[in-house]
């Protein structure tokens, strides 16, 4: 464990730097880094890394380099502006364990800006809350990784292990940004992803599938004065109840996954987009439903896709038109598996101690109905990866906001985790920082 003095000094450094941390987070939130528009936010992250003396690696994602890798998700959009940034700290003598901090700059669409209390990209503070798209998911956590590192060094200590700071794109739509970091060769003994978890240790996450169900109609003049045709939108919407029914079926299976037995609703089937028609006075020639499907750990993408395809096929058989013009299903974006964190007693104990020191409470864990890039480390790199981050409200909704008090606590916890995991040298004495006797608990700060 870290000596009490070290804990106190690092916590004090987080406190003294927190105003700058919030200011930097606001600058990051103010950049509308929607899918395909992340480059400016990545420039800001790269500059922040250079200011800290990190070796900066910035590159454009190449689908051809990724498409044969495990964990790849199919791409239907341009990667012309899809840049990753990794900043690396290397100690003079690498004596400690290595660490990856990972976070994403891409954000989801905002909806009508007029329905926000403040503008979605006008980050405002009200009480303990910072508002803005991406404030919680997950720019506050991403910024905190750099300031946790600052706190360690500003306290007079140097990490003894190598540290990579990964700022990635594509988390919200595929996960290919983090996959590109694996492909580029970045490895470490542990990975810390501060997605907003409400200061809970994420034991497991579901997988995701994005599917597009397309129906072709028979277009005619909407008046029907020659023929009525077949309305593709109406036919597509008739399929939706059959797709939605899978949700209840899949949730009934949670008893087969012990850690999800007590979760109230692990699998969600969501219709996120509807596209169809070209002209108000024409019977639509085509319509598409974009659907997000969750799958619990232990269930494969292949079997979930098969059940989805069977549901659409069976729904079409009862319709004279659809039975002769069957809907098509294609997969785009997310194609990910669920995971559990296993065999990670040492890093979990370090995180548990850090949480207890800062919050004064026992760390609780959760399995979630959401997904994050944490899966890549646990499934494809054989690396302990943890999702642990601040408290957020209305993520992906209007008035998304993050609890700044929670952000400060999480920053301290990440700094203490970094210090104990990687080990420290005291720059003032050039000596290694020795652990306290096992069993001692440092005071809260």
User: Could you read off the pLDDT of 192-219 as tens digits, one per residue?
Assistant: 999 999 999 999 999 999 999 999 999 9
**Residue 86: how many CB atoms within 10 A of its CB?**
24
Q: pLDDT of 59-72, one tens digit each? A: 999 999 999 999 99
Q: Measure the CA–CA gap between 223 and 279, rounded to whole angstroms.
A: 13
CATH of domain 207-335: 3.30.70.360
Q: Measure the CA–CA gap between 1 and 441, rounded to whole angstroms.
A: 8
**Whole-model pTM?**
0.95
Contact between 57 and 85 (Cβ < 8 Å): yes
Place of tokens 């294609």: 330
Q: Provide the token pair at 104.
A: 């994403």
Domains 4-205+339-432 and 207-335 share a fold: no
Comparison of pLDDT for 432 and 133, the residue scoring more: 133
Per-residue pLDDT, 319:
94
Please indicate whether residue 171 is annotated as part of the active site. yes
> Could you tell me the residue ranges of all domains in the chain?
4-205+339-432, 207-335
Q: pLDDT of 135-184, one tens digit each? A: 999 999 999 999 999 999 999 999 999 999 999 999 999 999 999 999 99
DSSP 72: -
CATH of domain 4-205+339-432: 3.40.630.10
Report whether pLDDT(436) > 60: no
Report whether pLDDT(434) > 90: no
When mean pLDDT is compared across 12-26, 66-80, 324-338, 425-439, the lowest value belongs to 425-439
Per-residue pLDDT, 225:
87
φ/ψ (deg, to 5) at 9: -65, -40
Confidence of residue 441 (pLDDT cuts 50, 70, 90): very low
Of 9, 115, 73, 33, give the one whose Cα is nearest residue 373.
Answer: 73
Q: Provide the token pair at 200.
A: 């809970």
Per-residue pLDDT, 435:
65
Confidence of residue 429 (pLDDT cuts 50, 70, 90): confident
Per-residue pLDDT, 438:
41
From the candidates 9, 38, 106, 195, which is the catalytic residue? 106
From the candidates 38, 171, 172, 205, which is the catalytic residue? 171
Report whether pLDDT(50) > 60: yes
């Amino acid at each position: 464990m870290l000596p009490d003095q070290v804990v106190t000094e690092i916590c004090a450094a987080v406190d003294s730097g927190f105003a700058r941390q919030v200011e930097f987070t606001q600058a990051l939130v103010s950049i509308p880094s929607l899918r395909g528009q992340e480059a400016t936010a990545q420039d800001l992250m790269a500059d922040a890394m250079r200011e800290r003396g990190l070796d900066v690696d910035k590159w454009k994602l190449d689908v051809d380099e990724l498409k044969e890798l495990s964990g790849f998700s199919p791409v239907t959009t341009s990667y012309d502006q899809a840049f990753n940034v990794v900043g690396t700290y290397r100690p003079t003598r690498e004596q400690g364990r290595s660490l990856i901090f990972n976070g994403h700059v891409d954000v989801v669409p905002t909806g009508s800006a007029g329905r926000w209390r403040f503008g979605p990209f006008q980050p405002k503070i009200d009480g303990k809350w910072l508002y803005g798209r991406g404030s919680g998911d997950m720019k506050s956590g991403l910024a905190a990784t750099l300031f946790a590192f600052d706190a360690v060094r500003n306290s007079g200590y140097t990490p003894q292990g190598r540290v990579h700071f990964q700022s990635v794109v594509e988390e919200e739509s595929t996960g290919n940004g983090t996959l590109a970091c694996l492909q580029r060769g970045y490895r470490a003994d542990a990975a810390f992803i501060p997605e907003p978890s409400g200061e809970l240790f994420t034991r497991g996450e579901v997988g995701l599938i994005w599917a597009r169900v397309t129906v072709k109609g028979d277009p005619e003049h909407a008046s029907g004065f020659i023929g009525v045709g077949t309305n593709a939108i109406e036919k597509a919407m008739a399929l939706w109840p059959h797709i939605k029914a899978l949700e209840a079926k899949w949730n009934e299976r949670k008893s087969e996954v012990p850690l999800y037995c007590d979760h109230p609703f692990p699998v969600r089937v969501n219709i996120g987009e509807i596209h169809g028609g070209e002209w108000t006075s024409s019977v639509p020639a085509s319509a598409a439903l974009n659907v997000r499907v969750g799958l619990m750990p232990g269930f494969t993408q292949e079997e979930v896709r098969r059940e989805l395809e069977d549901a659409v096929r069976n729904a079409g058989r009862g319709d004279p038109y659809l039975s002769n013009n069957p809907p098509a299903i294609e997969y785009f974006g997310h194609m990910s598996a669920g995971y559990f964190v296993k065999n990670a007693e040492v890093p979990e104990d370090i995180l548990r101690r850090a949480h207890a020191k800062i919050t004064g409470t026992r760390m609780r864990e959760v399995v979630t109905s959401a997904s994050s890039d944490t899966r890549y480390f646990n499934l494809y790199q054989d690396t302990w990866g943890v999702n642990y981050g601040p408290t957020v409200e209305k993520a992906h909704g209007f008035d998304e906001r993050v609890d700044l008090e929670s952000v400060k606590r999480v920053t301290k916890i990440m700094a203490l985790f970094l210090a104990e995991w990687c080990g420290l040298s005291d720059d003032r004495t050039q000596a290694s920082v020795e652990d306290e006797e096992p069993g001692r608990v440092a005071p809260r700060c």
